[in-house]
Amino acid sequence: MTGEKTMSTDIQRVAIVATGVIGASWAACFLARGLEVTATDPAPGAEDALRLSVAAHWPVMEKMGLAPGASPDRLRFVDTPEEAVADAQFVQESGPERLDLKRALFQRLDTAAPDVILASSSSTLLISEIQTGCAHPERIVLGHPFNPPHLIPLVEVVGGSATSETAIAQAMAFYASIGKKPIRLMKEVRGHVANRLQAALWQEAFHLVEAGVASVADIDAAIAHGPGLRWALLGPFLNLHLSGGPGGIAELFSKPLWQATQAMWADLGQLTVDPGLAAQVADGVNAELAALDPVAMQRQRDDVLLGLLRLKADAENLP
C-alpha cells in the first residue's frame, strides 16, 4: 500500500485498552512473556480488578513457564487510552462489543499512536466497520483470541478493506512470538471462524434440549467424553480424514456413512432461545453443577488443559 508505515517487529511494550475478562487475560499473557504492559479502562475500580485478575492467573502462567524478566510488576495502569498507547509498540483493544464505541475509540487510538499496529479482540464485528474514519486504517487488524487468552493459543487474524498485508503479517508474527497459534482469515466474516463453528454446535445443543432428546448434562458429556477429545487434537477435517479408512477423506465422501451425515444436516434444529428454553437450560446447568465444586472444576479444567497443551507442544505431527 502506498504510504504504508513501517511498524516495529521487536515488540517489548504493549498497551491494553479495556481490561474486562478478555483484557485482563491478555494482560496476564503478555506479562508472562516478559513484556511491559500499560493498561487503561474507564470503569470504576478497573485497576484493582485488573491486578486481582492477573494475580489469580499468575499461578497457571508460572506452570506454563515464564519468559525471563516476566513479572506482574511490569504492569502499569493509566487513566486514558492516549496515555496507554503513548509509548506502545503494539495495541490490543478489548472493549465492549458495540460498533459505535469501537469506532470512536479507534479514532482516538489512531490519532494517539499513528505508527503501531492496533488490534481488536472483537468477537463479532468486522474490522472494515471499525477502521472507518481512521486516518491510518492500514495498520488496524483483528486479533481475536479464544477465551481465556492467557491459556488458549488460538488467535484469529484478519484485516479490513483498508488493512495492509504488512500489518497482517506483523500481527501474525507478534502473536506467534508469544506462543500463540495465529490463523490467517482470507476474508472477513461476522463471528470469524471458531465462534461460527461453536455457534453451530450450540444451536444443535439447544435444539436437542428443546426436542427432549437428552438432558443438559448428557449433552455436555456427549461432547466432553466423545468428539471433543478428538477435536482437541486434530480438528474436524483431519478427523474426517481418519474416518475414511485407507483412502482418507476422499474415500469417505463416496461412502453411505457420508450420505447419511449430509442427510442429518437437513434435520438440524433452527430455533431461537425463548425464555422457556433459556430457563430449562439454566436449570439443567444448575443440576449438573450441583454434583460438582465449581471452583475446583475450573481449576482442574485449567490444569488438564495445561497438561494437554504440553503434550500437544511435543507432538510434532499434530496440527
Predicted local distance difference test score (pLDDT) of residue 9 = 57
Predicted local distance difference test score (pLDDT) of residue 243 = 87
User: Of 184, 212, 245, which closes a domain?
Assistant: 184
Residues 222, 231: Cα–Cα separation, whole Å: 13
Residues 154, 195: Cα–Cα separation, whole Å: 12
Question: Do 55 and 125 sit in the same domain of this protein?
Answer: yes
Torsion of CA 274, 278, 279, 285, to 10 degrees: 170
The reply to whether 1 falls in a domain is no
- Specify the residue for cell string 464485528: 125
Instruction: Supply the range of the domain harboring residue 243.
Output: 194-314
Give the pLDDT confidence of 177-209 residue by residue, as tens digits. Answer: 999 999 999 999 999 999 999 999 999 999 999
Question: Do 105 and 27 sit in the same domain of this protein?
Answer: yes
Question: Do 152 and 76 sit in the same domain of this protein?
Answer: yes
Question: Do 240 and 165 sit in the same domain of this protein?
Answer: no
The reply to whether 286 falls in a domain is yes
Question: Do 177 and 280 sit in the same domain of this protein?
Answer: no
Question: Do 133 and 24 sit in the same domain of this protein?
Answer: yes
Number of domains within the chain: 2
In the three-class reduction of DSSP (H, G, I as helix; E, B as strand; rest coil), residue 159 is classed as strand
Q: Which three cell numbers stand for residue 129?
A: 466497520
Predicted local distance difference test score (pLDDT) of residue 3 = 42
User: Of 163, 184, 205, which closes a domain?
Assistant: 184
Give the pLDDT confidence of 90-136 residue by residue, as tens digits. Answer: 999 999 999 999 999 999 999 999 899 999 999 999 999 999 999 99
**Vertex 25: Cα angle to 24 and 28 (nearest 5):** 90
Single-letter amino acid code for the residue at 201: L
Residues 258, 243: Cα–Cα separation, whole Å: 10
- CA end-to-end distance (rounded Å), the chain: 33
54-71 b/e (C-beta count within 10 Å ≥ 16 → b): beebbebbeebeeeeebe
Single-letter amino acid code for the residue at 247: G
Domain containing 117 — which CATH number?
A: 3.40.50.720
Residue 6 scores a pLDDT above 80: no
Average pLDDT over residues 50-78: 96
Single-letter amino acid code for the residue at 224: A
Residue 159 scores a pLDDT above 60: yes
The reply to whether 253 falls in a domain is yes
Lowest-pLDDT range, 116-120, 217-221, 263-267?
263-267
Domain containing 262 — which CATH number?
A: 1.10.1040.10
Lowest-pLDDT range, 3-7, 140-144, 293-297, 304-308?
3-7
Query: Percentage of the chain with pLDDT > 70?
Result: 97
Question: Do 151 and 200 sit in the same domain of this protein?
Answer: no
Residues 295, 272: Cα–Cα separation, whole Å: 31
Residue 1 scores a pLDDT above 70: no
Residues 237, 255: Cα–Cα separation, whole Å: 16
Question: Do 170 and 198 sit in the same domain of this protein?
Answer: no
pTM score: 0.91
